[in-house]
Amino acid sequence: MEIEIATIGGFEEVGRQMTAVRAGEDVVVFDMGLNLSQVLIHDNVETEQMHSLDLIDMGAIPDDRVMSDLEGDVQAIVPTHGHLDHIGAISKLAHRYNAPVVATPYTIELVKQQVKGENKFSVDNDLVKMDAGGTMSIGPQCELEFVNVSHSVIDAINPVLHTPEGSVVYGLDKRIDHNPVIGDPIDMERFREIGREDNGVLCYIEDCTNAGHKGRTPSESVARTHLKDTLQSIEDYDGGIVATTFSSHIARVKSLVEFAEEIGRKPVLLGRSMEKYSGTAERLDFVEFPGDLGMYGHRKSVDRTFKRIMKEGKEKFLPVVTGHQGEPRAMLTRMARGETPFELDDGDKVIFSARVIPEPTNEGQRYQAERLLKMQGARIYDEIHVSGHLREEGHYQMLDALQPQHVIPGHQDLQGFAPYVDLAESQGYAVGRDLHVTRNGNMITLVE
């Protein structure tokens, strides 16, 4: 059976991930993501109104025109998890394919919300839920399987396409976590089994994000302990404490909510995306929040909550807000600019349970937000966080478990691929032979 891989997006950047695998007549598309930094760089871009081709020109969504070179029918569009760089282009591209979107329940729910907000295209692809561990047939000879992984969003999987020539494992976004705060640990046993099956692993497409970092990525339970320790250390502070984290990081939000209560404060989630991700996770029973937990997204209800906090006493609350990257329109940045009724006083604590995404736009915005917060006397607690991506030792473990014939580094630019290429070469792979360093818009033929 002919096997071809089209590397469509996310092979020159972190963002707009998209890869297609053709096995004989059948094609499966993995991820359809957005490169948010290409959108945010322009003022006031409303992507909901924009046409796909304009967004492709901006570098915001994958240039999927290469798909016309693949001689087969798309049978499924498979986003691996709910981060925007993996699902953010579905509303702009999926309608061009006569295929269902297949993903885990939390991811499907986020896709559904995104498609609903789309104004330019009507996306009516079927949305099919499949849990980690589930399988479905792709054409007469192939099978799609979801393997549970741990990442910084719940319900993440690595999809595997089993073909008669061996498996194609799409390894984007994971950490090897044996003690996640929500959900099951990563299913390393299944990866090892897949590596030992008859035809083994034909190809492994890997996320190189942290390949240049030594050691292993700590578990989410480490970030949880760090957070607990930090909040306990300011338990007796009688002024304002504000925390921010990735809205989609439900495990972290859950920890913040729990520890707020432990130090005698009422947690409240503020900001549009806080309400969206946490509300969805609660509705789907991924997390149980206290019955009276307030979640507010609309400007008016947020301001009303801030007024209430100021009236009843800042020392009684712990607002968990958006804005960990200093995004200009997010809640924490608005607070820093004094645009909300919440007044920061000298000595008030601001907890960043996130790291700055190492990208000049983010770094600049975050720097500005921190400066503004400090001008009001705020004290900053930084980097209470663990990454969602594998480091060196995790990459060695994955190669050891899967023993792939071919490896394709992804989720980075050329510079980001370099440490992974060194690592893979130390394991016997060679660039140009079975280690395929590629760019967006390329086709790699594995079996002719």
Instruction: Answer for the pair 57, 100: CB distance below 8 angstroms, yes or no.
Output: no
Query: Tokens 């390329």 map to which residue?
Result: 442
Query: What are the φ/ψ torsions at residue 169 (nearest 5 degrees)?
Result: -105, 120
Residue 151 annotated as binding? yes
Residue 406 annotated as binding? no
Burial of 285 by CB count in 10 Å (0-12 exposed, 13-18 middle, 19+ buried)?
exposed
**Which one, 15 or 24, has the nearer CB to Zn ion?**
15
**Which one, 186 or 241, has the nearer CB to Zn ion?**
186
Shortest CB 349 distance to Zn ion, Å: 28
Binding segment for Zn ion (CB under 5 A), chosen from 78-86, 195-203, 223-231, 370-378, is 78-86
218: three-class secondary structure by DSSP: coil
Shortest CB 248 distance to Zn ion, Å: 9
Binding segment for Zn ion (CB under 5 A), chosen from 24-32, 54-62, 77-85, 418-426, is 77-85
**Which one, 83 or 324, has the nearer CB to Zn ion?**
83
Instruction: Answer for the pair 221, 179: CB distance below 8 angstroms, yes or no.
Output: yes
R_g of the chain, CA atoms, integer Å:
22
Binding segment for Zn ion (CB under 5 A), chosen from 128-136, 168-176, 340-348, 417-425, is 168-176
CA distance 429 to 402: 14
Residue 411 annotated as binding? yes
207: three-class secondary structure by DSSP: strand
Residues touching Zn ion: how many (CB under 5 A)?
A: 2
Residue 81 annotated as binding? yes
Binding segment for Zn ion (CB under 5 A), chosen from 158-166, 171-179, 188-196, 263-271, is 171-179
Shortest CB 85 distance to Zn ion, Å: 7
CA distance 268 to 431: 51
Shortest CB 86 distance to Zn ion, Å: 6
Residue 178 annotated as binding? no
Binding segment for Zn ion (CB under 5 A), chosen from 36-44, 80-88, 291-299, 347-355, is 80-88
Shortest CB 203 distance to Zn ion, Å: 21
Instruction: Answer for the pair 267, 318: CB distance below 8 angstroms, yes or no.
Output: yes
Residue 292 annotated as binding? no
Residue 226 annotated as binding? no
Residue 238 annotated as binding? no
**Which one, 16 or 83, has the nearer CB to Zn ion?**
83
Instruction: Answer for the pair 446, 406: CB distance below 8 angstroms, yes or no.
Output: yes
Going by C-alpha positions, the residue among 336, 323, 332, 334 that lies closest to residue 377 is: 336
Instruction: Answer for the pair 351, 384: CB distance below 8 angstroms, yes or no.
Output: yes
Q: Which residues lie below 8 Å from residue 426, measured CB to CB, with a gap of 6+?
A: none
Shortest CB 193 distance to Zn ion, Å: 25
**Which one, 303 or 413, has the nearer CB to Zn ion?**
413
Contact with Zn ion (CB under 5 A): which of 13, 145, 155, 173?
A: 173
Residue 385 annotated as binding? yes
Shortest CB 422 distance to Zn ion, Å: 24
**Which one, 170 or 342, has the nearer CB to Zn ion?**
170
CA distance 157 to 155: 7
Give, for 308, the enclosing helix (H) or strand (E): helix 299-312
Interactions with Zn ion, residue window 35-74 (CB under 5 A): none
Residue 83 annotated as binding? yes
Query: What are the φ/ψ torsions at residue 74 (nearest 5 degrees)?
Result: -70, 125
Query: Hey, what are 34's tokens?
Result: 């957005």
Residue 85 annotated as binding? yes
Binding segment for Zn ion (CB under 5 A), chosen from 60-68, 81-89, 134-142, 314-322, is 81-89
Helices 392-402 and 414-426: crossing angle in degrees, nearest 10, is 60
Query: Tokens 């594995």 map to which residue?
Result: 446
Residue 298 annotated as binding? no
Query: Tokens 């969805």 map to which residue?
Result: 280
CA distance 318 to 320: 6
CA distance 21 to 29: 6
198: three-class secondary structure by DSSP: coil
Going by C-alpha positions, the residue among 181, 174, 179, 182 that lies closest to residue 149 is: 174
Contact with Zn ion (CB under 5 A): which of 7, 56, 62, 83?
A: 83
Shortest CB 208 distance to Zn ion, Å: 13
**Which one, 83 or 249, has the nearer CB to Zn ion?**
83
Binding segment for Zn ion (CB under 5 A), chosen from 5-13, 167-175, 297-305, 369-377, is 167-175
> How long is the chain?
448
**Which one, 8 or 149, has the nearer CB to Zn ion?**
149
Going by C-alpha positions, the residue among 151, 138, 28, 182 that lies closest to residue 81 is: 151
Shortest CB 80 distance to Zn ion, Å: 8
**Which one, 9 or 72, has the nearer CB to Zn ion?**
9
**Which one, 286 or 429, has the nearer CB to Zn ion?**
286
* Residue list for the binding site: 81, 83, 85-86, 151, 173, 385-389, 411
Q: Please report, as ranges, the residues that interact with Zn ion according to CB under 5 A.
A: 83, 173
* Residue list for the binding site for substrate: 385-389
